[in-house]
Amino acid sequence: MRILIVDDELRLAETLGQIMIENKYLVDIINDGETGYDYAMSGIYDVIILDVMLPKMNGFDIVRKMRANKEKTPVILLTARDEVIDKITGLDCGADDYLTKPFSTEELLARVRALSRRQGAIISNELNFGDLVLNQSTNTLFCGAKSVRLGLKEFEILRLLMSNPNNIITKEDLLLKVWGSDSNAEDNNVEVYISFLRKKLFFLDSRVSIETVRKIGYHLGEKIK
């Protein structure tokens, strides 16, 4: 199961991330609201842990915008404010749960598990598309009896493509979600790693291909053999 943590308190975010990893969750950590919203809208997360007070876009606005755009991933809001009106505002925006800082990590984990059960989430470390299986714990890509280990950026790119099989993933999305908003990476960096992935798909003799949508981005397809 994959968790998104959006919190600008760096130490708290890293601590929560480590706790989630120790409990066998996959974790992404973001420290500002605008980037957090972009990640949340990817649809690849099972639960989102979201601070209310964030730079660029606050937690209430993130949840409100997510729900307006039909993104249903469960959200736990975190806040230092214990006012009833804040809790009401958060829940009315579309959040599924609300925790006031400071809180026990055991309680947070229990709420994450509860939301997972409520959504009927299946805890799985595998993504599937066509004849491919991507193990998210080991970054290993399987095709029948063959397998190949992916580098970190190769893994993140393919994970995004396999998690959104019916969508075109733009180069801008890949730069943001794989390289990060503070990176100086350019379109050419994306093209280089797409080339690496295509070579590995060829090595695996997979029917799956990474299709280019000119001037936009990429999506997965299947070749007929």
Task: Give tens-digit pLDDT for 188-206.
Answer: 889 999 999 999 999 999 9
pLDDT tens-place string over residues 132-152: 999 887 889 999 999 999 998
- Comparing 83-87, 96-100, 198-202, 213-217, the range with the smallest average pLDDT is 83-87
Q: Is 129 in contact with 165 (CB distance < 8 Å)?
A: yes
- Comparing 119-123, 155-159, 198-202, the range with the smallest average pLDDT is 119-123
Residue 76: the pLDDT is 96
Please compute the mean of the pLDDT values over residues 182-192 and round it to a whole number: 81
Residue 124: the pLDDT is 57
Please compute the mean of the pLDDT values over residues 40-52 and round it to a whole number: 89
DSSP 112-147: HHHHHHHHT----SEEEETTEEEETTTTEEEETTEE
Please state, in angstroms and rounded to a whole number, the distance separating the CA atoms of residues 197 and 210: 8
Assigned CATH topology for domain 126-222 = Arc Repressor Mutant, subunit A (1.10.10)
Please state, in angstroms and rounded to a whole number, the distance separating the CA atoms of residues 223 and 130: 10
170: pLDDT strictly greater than 70: yes
Residue 119 pLDDT class (50, 70, 90 cuts): low
123: pLDDT strictly greater than 50: no
Residue 126: the pLDDT is 82
Other beta carbons within 10 Å of 145: 6
Q: Which residues contact 91 (CB under 8 A, 6 or more apart)?
A: 98
Please compute the mean of the pLDDT values over residues 12-23 and round it to a whole number: 91
What is the pTM for the complete model shown?
0.62
Residue 177 pLDDT class (50, 70, 90 cuts): confident
Residue written as token pair 């193990």? 135
The average confidence (pLDDT) of the chain is: 89
Residue 13: the pLDDT is 93
Instruction: Indicate the domain borders of the chain.
Output: 2-119, 126-222
Q: Is 91 in contact with 98 (CB distance < 8 Å)?
A: yes
183: pLDDT strictly greater than 70: no
Q: Which residue has the higher pLDDT, 6 or 24?
A: 6
CATH number of 2-119: 3.40.50.2300
Please state, in angstroms and rounded to a whole number, the distance separating the CA atoms of residues 87 and 94: 11
